[in-house]
Structure 1
Amino acid sequence: MLRKVVLIVTIAYFIWITSFLVFGTDDTDTKQSLSLEEIAITKFDDEFDNEFKEFNNNSRSKLIIHDEKVNLKYCGKKTCNFMFPYFIPEQETRANLHLRSLTFLAESLNRIMVLPNVGNSRMDCCMKFSFEFYYDLEKMKKMFPKVKFMTQQTFKEWTEELLIKPDALHTWFIEDGRNDSYSIRDHNQMAVEPGVRYEKNLLSKLCVNQFDLKISDYKEFHTGIGHVNDFEYKMFNFFTENLKDIKSPVILIRNRSRRQMFPLIEEPIPFASHILNQANEIRNKLQPYYCIHWRMEQGIPQKMPNCASELIKMINDLKTTEGINNIYLATDYPISGGNAASNTFYGVGKYHKLAIQMLNSTFDINTWISLNALKEFRNNEYYDSEFKNSGIHGILDKLICIQSDYFISGSRDCCRLLSTYTKLIGEARKNLIDSGDTRIRNTITRWKRPSK
């Protein structure tokens, strides 16, 4: 019996000792053990994080030093601040006006103004050719001595050389009250509000994705529908107040407003020397000469032949009174065989064709095509797209008309009367007359409106 008791006690003691060795003494010791492990892991993480942060800080410092050198290279300072109007509305004559008025904003914000590419009479970062294909950048710098300029290509190179992607604010200028697809966004008064974030496909369509930027914010600026006295100056002040404290190195501007938003600068941006030289060569070859500007867009198609008849009568009369025989024709009709020389002239038809045939069968008509103008570009495949639509030849036509001895344009029903292009030619000719150029015989004369 005693042996059984001893055996039972021995077994119980063995079980108790085993449980102690295996499971420990109590829950408190177990928790303390795990807590020490957590502390050790946390300490390791902290040390790793500190080393990682130190590594990152050193690395970022090197990136900043590199980018400061890039900024010094492109901007002359360790920081760069740009204003890039990457889309300008309307064709060259009006786009020229919009861009030069934007220099007011660039100056007030103390930002370098990036000049968009050009092509087909447009200013747009999607275009193929550098700003200097149309304009003289050095003369533009003298025209705006307080503003620094940079071409789109140079700006693009800046974004690519930076190691830290530059932050950008995207702004969208919206003209309210146009009754177009944007009318849902109309405001009664000038306003600024958060803009819609652009998806990758839209940025690609607008060609903004070619620049290595991080667009962090979007804002919309609205002109408002109502009439405001001194609108341009008030709008200019409104933009300045809302953009002057922006810290982003880049302000992108998508301008959808055809309305004059900033103070008007009368003097156009000077054209490139290769265009001016070609215009002077043609002027010297033809003078004395008439320049006819016939913008058929918005004319009544069925009246085009009668319009041509009235023009022919007028030239025959002028030959007697003015003694001028040479004729130069500037027109949006597709004389090169491609598309019309206007991106908004779609309805070229049989009546337009008949009117041009009537002119050609009556007179020896000179054009940029017949005179083989701009041949160094026309014979280069790289520039083919420029001559299949409106483009550099439209600028050439304008300069030739300004310098003509006698300038003729169309009447109501025959053409687009409210043309900034035609108005600019007339104003430039008036300035020449006022300055004492006796070769210029008139500002503008319109042929008779057809009776039927």
Structure 2
Amino acid sequence: MPHRLDAQMYRTEPHMQTARTPRPLAYSSVFVFVSLSIFFVLLCRNSADLTSSDIDAPGPLSPPSDLLSSSPLSDPFPPSAADSPAPSTDLPEALRIQDADSAAFDIFALAFQPPNRDGVRTLPRVDRTHLAKLDALALLLDPHDTSNPLYSAPADNSDHLYADTVDTPHFSDTPKLQWPPTVTALPAPPVQRRPTDLTLCGATRCRFLLPLRISEPEARARHHVAQLARLAHALNRTLVLPNVGKGRLGACFRWPLGRYYDIDSLDVDLHTPGADDHEGYDADDGLDGLFDDTSTVRAVSLDAFQQWTRGRGSNPPSAQIAWLSARQDGALEHADIYSGPSLVAGMLTSGIDEVASRLPGCLDTKFALALEAYTPVFVRPSRKALKTGTAGAAVARALLDDQLALAWQNTDAENNTGTALQPADVLVVNWDLRVPLFPSPLELEYSAALTAAARAMAPPAPYVAVDWRMDNLAADAVGDCARSLVGALSGALLVHEDIHDVWLGLDVPLGLGKVEELDASALQALQERGVREQHVDGARFVTRAFRSGGELDGWEVRGYEEFDNAGLSMETLQDGGVRDIINRLIGEGAALFVASGESCGKPSASTQSLMENRKTAFSESSGPSVLRNDVLHFERS
């Protein structure tokens, strides 16, 4: 059924079969036109290919010779004057670039390509490789070669000051200056010459006495500096002045001796090279004006000594350790060589490493010394000789004895001769003496800076000075000791009605003005500077007594906050030795002096020295004096 319907649907009617309609003429015309167009396009394309092949026949980057030599009559599109090719010149070999696919070609002919017959200029194909070659060739050009096409002669009236110093061709008449100038090399560091033996020691070979450690604290150690100078003089050696720091003296500390003391007060004829004799090391160490040229005892700063040792390079100076003490160190083995009524002397046989381990560590890290050659020695003066003042000469004779001074360690059988021919260059002294070796000891006075700071910080005279050591005080004892101190001050101030100011010297740099404002975070920050909780509690209790309604109302208290007006830095204030010196200087000028007893804080060596000086001055004063007491102790109630 579906097939039958399809047959009827496409059946031709009878009237349509009787006459056939002819094909229209337009269809044939369209076909012919399209065919001709395709043929014409193909013909034009073929002609364009032939023209391009004729131009590029000599090479892809070189113009054809027939086009370069063609006349204007044969070319319907002659080039203009501006487009005319560059005149041919004999170029140097450096200006010709070798291509991988063709012979050497002319870079200037390449740049001046003529147009083709259609009036279109064919641009040359130049990639980064060609640009790099051209840049390299420009650097090889001789700036003075007149045959160089890029050469441009300077004008007659131009002044080329830098013409002879330029290493590239002149592309313009005016030289191009660059600012800032190009840095081609870093400047060499200045050569630091080491001080010579002759300028440093006054001899062709230096021999030093280096006080490595002075065992006593600052208040007593300053008495030993003059002792060391006299010993160096007796041994014909140059004294190395010790450094200071943390209330101690020795070679391992940070600051020069002049930070604590006035070296001019050392009444000994010492000598050190003047500013004109120094060769490369810093002479600004507080020694200027201390020494003269006629003296027989010489001294140098520790910095100058260090530079001298470093200047020896691979040949470090020889050194020998000398242990001076009134008691024998039981940890070190020894062999007695000389024993008499004045002293016992001998060699330390424990070995250099074990002996050095008993000394400060800076001996190995701070100084370049050869300690292996000489055997360490010891000298132990007797108590009787120390009391009578005859120990100094005996100690000097023992250290000059060949059995000690030339004690040689047989550590290297290949290079060791078995006998030392001369004493060591450096005698490293461990000074563990409490009593002076020589009679009539001198002591150093304090530096002018610290003396001026103490005067600026001290209350108006007359005043009371308090020294309270709480560092090792138990926390439960702070309140009882603070009440005892307030009571002692109240009783003393009521008797001396003309005194209105109190100096509270603590063993930490704690300002009293803001002690009530300290919170937990501020206290934690202060703990890094040595301030403990008991210090804050004790200071709070005392300062509250001076406030309105307190037991000491009407009197003024001041403390370390006065450092702001003293001209000293916070770094200086952090040093415990500086604080002790300030307290001692203020205490020496106080009308009344109050110090903590054993139960409220053991007095330091500095406080004990101050009390001894006040007792001596108070007992010797027969007339009017600034001192109204020697010391008043307060104890735990």
What's the TM-score once normalised by structure 1's chain length?
Answer: 0.69
> Which residue does the alignment assign to 2:348?
194
Secondary structure of the residue aligned to 1:214 is coil
2:591 & 2:492 partners in 1: Cα distance? 12
1:389-446 Cα deviation digits (max 9, x unpaired): 51322212211111122211122311215x4322322343356554778452235222
1:336-383 Cα deviation digits (max 9, x unpaired): 635677xxxxxx8654542222112113432233442554432xxxxx
Secondary structure of the residue aligned to 2:253 is coil
Letter paired with 1:361: R
Greater fraction helix = 1
User: Post-superposition shift, 1:328?
Assistant: 1.0
> Which residue does the alignment assign to 1:36?
none
> Which residue does the alignment assign to 1:287?
461
Secondary structure of the residue aligned to 1:296 is coil
Structure 2 residue ranges without an equivalent (≥5): 1-192, 271-294, 337-342, 406-422, 512-525, 547-555
1:438 & 1:143 partners in 2: Cα distance? 37
User: Post-superposition shift, 1:261?
Assistant: 5.9
Pairing partner for 1:169 from 299, 315, 320:
320
Q: Does 1:130 align with 2:262?
A: no
> Which residue does the alignment assign to 2:544?
361
Change over 3 Å in CA distance of 1:223–1:243 after alignment to 2: closer
Secondary structure of the residue aligned to 2:261 is coil
> Which residue does the alignment assign to 1:420?
605
Count of paired positions:
364
Secondary structure of the residue aligned to 2:424 is coil
> Which residue does the alignment assign to 1:42?
none
Change over 3 Å in CA distance of 1:437–1:258 after alignment to 2: farther
The structure having more radius of gyration, on CA atoms, is 2
Q: 2:244·2:254 contact (CA, 8 Å) conserved in 1?
A: yes
> Which residue does the alignment assign to 1:24?
none
Letter paired with 1:192: G
Change over 3 Å in CA distance of 1:84–1:141 after alignment to 2: farther
Structure 1 residue ranges without an equivalent (≥5): 1-65, 342-347, 379-383
User: Post-superposition shift, 1:333?
Assistant: 4.0
| Greater relative contact order (Cα < 8 A, sep 6+) | 1
Counterparts of 1:36-51 in structure 2 under 5 Å? none
Counterparts of 1:252-263 in structure 2 under 5 Å? 252-255=428-431, 257=432, 259-260=434-435, 262-263=437-438
1:436 & 1:278 partners in 2: Cα distance? 30
> Which residue does the alignment assign to 2:235?
109
Q: 2:452·2:566 contact (CA, 8 Å) conserved in 1?
A: no
1:51-106 Cα deviation digits (max 9, x unpaired): xxxxxxxxxxxxxxx99x91221122223221110222232113223333333322
Letter paired with 1:165: P
Change over 3 Å in CA distance of 1:122–1:374 after alignment to 2: farther
Change over 3 Å in CA distance of 1:310–1:261 after alignment to 2: same
User: Post-superposition shift, 1:165?
Assistant: 3.3
1:264 & 1:301 partners in 2: Cα distance? 45
Pairing partner for 1:149 from 294, 299, 305:
299
> Which residue does the alignment assign to 1:221?
378
1:349 & 1:128 partners in 2: Cα distance? 25
Q: 1:72·1:78 contact (CA, 8 Å) conserved in 2?
A: yes
Q: Does 1:244 align with 2:430?
A: no
> Which residue does the alignment assign to 1:62?
none
Pairing partner for 1:160 from 310, 331, 351:
310
Q: Does 1:449 align with 2:623?
A: no
1:223 & 1:201 partners in 2: Cα distance? 18
Change over 3 Å in CA distance of 1:200–1:159 after alignment to 2: farther
Secondary structure of the residue aligned to 2:204 is coil
Q: 2:599·2:635 contact (CA, 8 Å) conserved in 1?
A: yes
Q: Identity over aligned residues, as a percent?
A: 21
1:288 & 1:103 partners in 2: Cα distance? 39
Letter paired with 2:587: C
Change over 3 Å in CA distance of 1:201–1:223 after alignment to 2: closer
Change over 3 Å in CA distance of 1:373–1:423 after alignment to 2: farther
> Which residue does the alignment assign to 2:385?
230
User: Post-superposition shift, 1:125?
Assistant: 2.0
Letter paired with 2:591: D
User: Post-superposition shift, 1:327?
Assistant: 1.0
User: Post-superposition shift, 1:109?
Assistant: 1.5
Pairing partner for 1:320 from 474, 491, 494:
494
Pairing partner for 1:302 from 476, 495, 520:
476
Q: Does 1:277 align with 2:452?
A: yes
